[in-house]
């Protein structure tokens, strides 16, 4: 009997050690589960789609108010999903276009666009003149005489016309957003920098009724006087202010595996209208996403630039 006692004692010690180890394992598992649940609810538990849309609508309205642009609040009686798509005055709204994606959206440059594009380089130089250069120009005008003064007045008028075109392009697209009660999350311009950049498109946030969650829809109207036979598309994106992703693709092949391809090279000279839907993955964590995308042609000349920002 006495020979058995050491074995029992060892067995009890072993059981106690296993029990302590099991408790530690359980504590670690509980901690990991707690962390996982916290991360899920803090970052991945999305609010309802309607709340996401309303939050981004408020962000856009606040931005416009800071820019001192007039904003007409959408009707509270009906949501945009229940309202027939309203097209701007310059676009015919035939019966077969009701509740359909429009083939045309505001074309901010219209008939004057090619003249504006042709004069772009000259106007850019005028708009970017420093104060000292302008002062020197005025002094020279006094010395040279009335002929140069008249030329300076023509330059000033041209600059004012360019500014008016910029404001007109912004207003047309904001009117388009208001008429259709869209949620704007981005703007598309003919270039990325400069006060004289013209708005040629919009990016809106929509409910994805087919797959759930939300998606973006991009509207673009742009004129390519010489056409486009190739190019590159670049994108940089950030999450809560930190770099998230950047890449580039060949312009003519970026959509070749997509069913809804909208860019087919070569692009003929003239006006082009593009409408493109992109699904926002449901697994993206909550936060603020910003992106900058730009396209250059085969000669590395900038064709357009998109700036977007939205929250989940």
The phi and psi torsions of 92 (rounded to 5 degrees) equal -65, 135
Q: What is the CA radius of gyration of the chain?
A: 29
Interatomic CA distance for residues 239 and 285, integer angstroms? 9
Arithmetic mean of pLDDT, 50-74: 75
pLDDT band at 137 (very low <50, low <70, confident <90, very high): very low
Among the listed ranges 148-157, 167-176, 283-292, which one has the minimum average pLDDT value? Answer: 148-157
Q: Is the pLDDT of residue 131 over 60?
A: no
Indicate the length of the chain as a whole number. 312
Report the range out of 84-88, 94-98, 109-113, 252-256 with the highest average pLDDT.
Answer: 252-256
At residue 295, the pLDDT reads 95
How many CA atoms lie less than 13 Å away from 133 in the CB half-sphere?
A: 7
Give yes or no for a contact between 289 and 312, defined as CB atoms under 8 angstroms apart: yes
Highest mean pLDDT among 77-86, 142-151, 197-206: 197-206
Average pLDDT over residues 217-241: 93
pLDDT confidence of residue 9: 54
Closest CA to 27 of 15, 35, 38: 35
The answer on pLDDT for 172 being more than 60 is yes
pLDDT for the residue 220: 93
What is the C-alpha separation between 114 and 120, in angstroms, rounded?
10
241, 218, 239, 243: which is closest to 295 by C-alpha? 218
> Would you say 138 and 131 are in contact if contact means Cβ atoms under 8 Å apart?
no
Residue 83 has pLDDT above 60, yes or no: no
Collapsing DSSP states into helix, strand and coil, what is residue 252?
coil
List the one residue out of 188, 205, 178 whose CA is nearest residue 50. Answer: 205
Cα–Cα distance, 18 to 9 (Å, whole number): 14
Percent of the chain beyond pLDDT 90?
36
Question: 120-127 and 146-180 helices cross at what angle (nearest 10)?
Answer: 100
- What sign has the CA pseudo-torsion 100, 58, 163, 121? negative
For residue 134, give the H/E element and its range: helix 131-144
pTM, whole model, 2 decimals?
A: 0.62
């Amino acid at each position: 009997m006495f020979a058995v006692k050491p074995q029992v004692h060892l067995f009890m010690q072993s059981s106690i050690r296993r029990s302590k180890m099991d408790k530690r394992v359980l504590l670690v598992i509980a901690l990991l589960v707690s962390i996982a649940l916290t991360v899920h609810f803090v970052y991945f538990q999305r609010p309802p789609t309607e709340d996401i849309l309303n939050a981004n609508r408020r962000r856009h309205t606040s931005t416009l108010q800071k820019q001192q642009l007039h904003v007409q609040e959408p009707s509270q009686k009906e949501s945009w999903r229940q309202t027939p798509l309203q097209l701007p005055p310059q676009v015919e709204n035939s019966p077969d276009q009701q509740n359909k994606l429009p083939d045309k959206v505001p074309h901010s440059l219209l008939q004057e666009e090619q003249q504006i594009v042709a004069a772009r380089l000259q106007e850019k130089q005028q708009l970017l003149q420093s104060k000292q250069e302008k002062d020197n120009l005025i002094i020279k005008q006094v010395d040279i005489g009335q002929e140069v003064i008249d030329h300076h007045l023509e330059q000033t008028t041209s600059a004012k016309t360019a500014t008016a075109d910029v404001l007109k392009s912004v207003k047309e697209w904001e009117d388009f957003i208001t008429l259709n009660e869209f949620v704007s999350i981005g703007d598309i311009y003919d270039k990325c920098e400069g006060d004289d950049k013209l708005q040629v498109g919009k990016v809106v946030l929509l409910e994805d009724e087919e797959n759930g969650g939300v998606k973006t829809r991009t509207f673009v109207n742009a004129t390519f006087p010489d056409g486009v036979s190739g190019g590159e598309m670049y994108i940089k994106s950030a999450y809560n202010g930190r770099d998230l992703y950047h890449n580039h693709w060949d312009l003519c092949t970026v959509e070749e595996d997509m069913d809804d391809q909208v860019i087919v090279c070569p692009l003929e000279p003239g006006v082009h209208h593009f409408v493109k839907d992109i699904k926002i993955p449901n697994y993206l964590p909550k936060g603020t996403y910003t992106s900058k995308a730009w396209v250059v042609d085969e000669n590395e000349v900038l064709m357009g630039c998109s700036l977007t920002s939205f929250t989940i």
